[in-house]
């Protein structure tokens, strides 16, 4: 796979990741991952996928009908010189599988981890889960950040 060298920051990789998701651009999405068999992607309620082939296949299936409407907000970040560990709220959903009717309000939480590699900053982990209730509002809402 042709790789682009990303000289920017982890924040720029994250921005490019969500841009690619919103456009439904799997090729652009996959170029942001580290060249490492131990990269991992866990979609909401899904199994662990590792390596480029499995992860790319999953995104092709998810994005077959077009891009997602995902606007990350409420970032927390722990980092050092060679790594950035982000968690964001990816948005709300009406499907909380653990709720009594399965249709309670819920929100999606994503952990995105970026490492500095010889090719620049790259994603090594994308782990998303469903959390109960509406998205937390203690920080500015997504709409005010975009």
Residues that bind a copy of itself (CB under 8 A): 34, 36, 38-40, 42, 44-48, 50, 76-83, 85, 87, 89, 97-98, 109, 111, 113, 115-117, 124-125, 127-133, 136
Instruction: Give the nearer residue to a copy of itself in terms of CB position, either 8 or 132.
Output: 132
Instruction: Give the nearer residue to a copy of itself in terms of CB position, either 58 or 67.
Output: 58
* DSSP codes joined into one string, the chain: -----B-S-HHHHHHHHHHHHHHT-HHHHHTTB-S-TT-EEE-TT--EEESHHHHHHHHHHHTTT-------EEEEEEEETTEEEEEEEEEEES--TTSSSS-S-EEEEEEEEEEEETTEEEEEEEEEEEEESSPP-SS--HHHH-
Instruction: Give the nearer residue to a copy of itself in terms of CB position, either 22 or 129.
Output: 129
Q: How far is the CB of 23 from a copy of itself (least distance, A)?
A: 26
Q: How far is the CB of 116 from a copy of itself (least distance, A)?
A: 6
Q: How far is the CB of 57 from a copy of itself (least distance, A)?
A: 16
Q: Which of 14, 109, 17 is nearest to 55 (CA)?
A: 17
Q: Which of 37, 35, 17 is nearest to 27 (CA)?
A: 17
Q: How far is the CB of 89 from a copy of itself (least distance, A)?
A: 8
Q: How far is the CB of 71 from a copy of itself (least distance, A)?
A: 17
Compute the chain's Rg from CA coordinates: 15
Instruction: Give the nearer residue to a copy of itself in terms of CB position, either 47 or 66.
Output: 47
Instruction: Give the nearer residue to a copy of itself in terms of CB position, either 67 or 85.
Output: 85
């Amino acid at each position: 796979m042709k790789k682009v060298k990303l000289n920017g920051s982890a924040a720029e990789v994250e921005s490019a990741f969500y841009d690619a998701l919103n456009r439904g651009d799997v090729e652009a999405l996959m170029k942001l991952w580290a060249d490492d068999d131990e990269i991992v992607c866990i979609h909401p309620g899904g199994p662990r996928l590792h390596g480029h082939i499995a992860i790319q296949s999953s995104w092709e299936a998810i994005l077959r009908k077009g891009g997602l409407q995902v606007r990350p907000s409420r970032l927390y970040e722990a980092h050092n010189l060679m790594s950035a560990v982000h968690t964001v709220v990816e948005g709300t959903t009406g499907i909380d599988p653990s709720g009594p009717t399965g249709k309670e309000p819920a929100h999606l939480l994503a952990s995105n981890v970026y490492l500095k590699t010889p090719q620049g900053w790259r994603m090594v982990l994308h782990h998303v889960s469903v959390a109960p209730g509406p998205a937390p509002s203690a920080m500015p809402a997504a709409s005010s950040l975009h």
